[in-house]
Copies of this chain bind each other. A is one copy, B any other.
Amino acid sequence: MSRSRTGLAEEAMAGSRLSLARLLTQVENDTPEGRSALDWLFPHAGRAHLIGVTGSPGTGKSSLVNRIAQAYRNPGGELTPRTVGVVAIDPTSPFSGGALLGDRVRMRDLAGDPGVFIRSMASRGALGGLARQTAGAVQVLDAVGFDVILIETVGAGQSEVDIARLAHTTLVVEAPGLGDEIQAIKAGILEIADILVINKADHPGVANTERALRSMLEMGYSRRRSRRSKEQPDLEDPISAEWLPPLLKTVATEGTGTGELVQAIDRHLVYLKSHGELQRRQYERLLNELDVLVQSTLVSRWHSGLQEELYDEVVAQMCDRKISPYQAMEELIKAT
């Protein structure tokens, strides 16, 4: 590998924030330099604790991310501060630049701290591109030595779920008063939650939100319990080895409850390590990354071997409804 291709990566490893920022741009743009750097950095990654924070706009998750970062930087007592990287993929986040003035002011608490690095990602991109870019950015921050990486996403569609799956620990953030119907649709998001947070817990309606979420959690618990006792009927307490997502209340703007939240995050990390789950999640993540890479490579290789005239002819037949898309695919695949 040429020196020039890994120069930025080596400088970033040595602590240069400017090189780190430039490297992240290369990775986001998927340049050959960026890809070489990812290969070169890969053996150094895999040590950070990756924490996903997902939730609808309006839940105040950016303030929460801010508080969590501060708590890791100033743990109090004898504890060693941990360094924090933030990857923000939320168009309404102050980190990625879509937010209100109040949020921007709060963000200043993190600015100027060399133990914190914040990177925002464009929220619009090619299908699957954002997930790959995010994985790349996280890997870079991991390899250059950040202890904790917070990945902030909007909990809406499949791509956000994919991004949340990057994380070892996923926080799903809710807030009172966003409507019961909206809560209902989040059933899918709840399934990925390791920790549930009701932020803005000083707002009216918090009791309703808590009740709704608790009943969803209970359903999840009992489903798991009956499944486990069928699988392992000889165990006295079949669920003792399982993580039951706790529900925590916070007021991020005032820092209320955020200490307990960070403790819960740390407990989850201990759980993951002691049950082999951390490794399992890493493997799953890497396998998924490999799948995506194989898929995009197969398609682009196929494209480059395709005769343009044949493609045009088959497409014309399909557009005239003489052959179906499935039959058109068979024609094209047969020819390459």
Interface set of A (CB-CB < 8 Å, partner B):
35, 38-39, 42-43, 45-46, 56-58, 91-92, 98, 124, 127, 154, 156-160, 178-179, 181-182, 184-185, 187-188, 282-283, 286-287, 289-290, 293-295, 297-299, 301-302, 315, 318-319, 321-329, 332-333
Contact = CB atoms under 8 A, between A and B. Distances in A.
23 contacts: A38-B326, A39-B324, A42-B321, A42-B325, A46-B321, A58-B181, A91-B184, A91-B185, A92-B184, A98-B184, A154-B185, A156-B156, A156-B157, A157-B158, A178-B179, A282-B319, A293-B325, A293-B329, A294-B333, A295-B295, A295-B299, A297-B333, A301-B333
Nearest to A282: B319
A43 B322 contact: yes
A128 to B, nearest CB: 9
Contacts of A185: 57, 91-92, 154, 156
Contacts of A326: 35, 38-39, 293
A121 to B, nearest CB: 15
Contacts of A329: 290, 293-294, 297
B159 A333 contact: no
Given A283-B319, A299-B298, A329-B290, A181 B39 contact: no
B302 A298 contact: yes
Contacts of A160: 157
A324 B42 contact: yes
Most buried by B among A56, A91, A185: A185
A324 B46 CA distance: 12
Contacts of A289: 325
B57 A181 contact: yes
A173 to B, nearest CB: 13
B333 A318 contact: no
Contact of A286 (B156, B159, B187, B325): B325
A149 to B, nearest CB: 17
The 10 A-B residue pairs whose C-beta atoms are closest, nearest first, are A157-B157, A42-B324, A57-B181, A293-B329, A289-B325, A39-B324, A58-B181, A298-B298, A156-B156, A290-B325
Contacts of A187: 91
A117 to B, nearest CB: 22
A286 B283 CA distance: 37
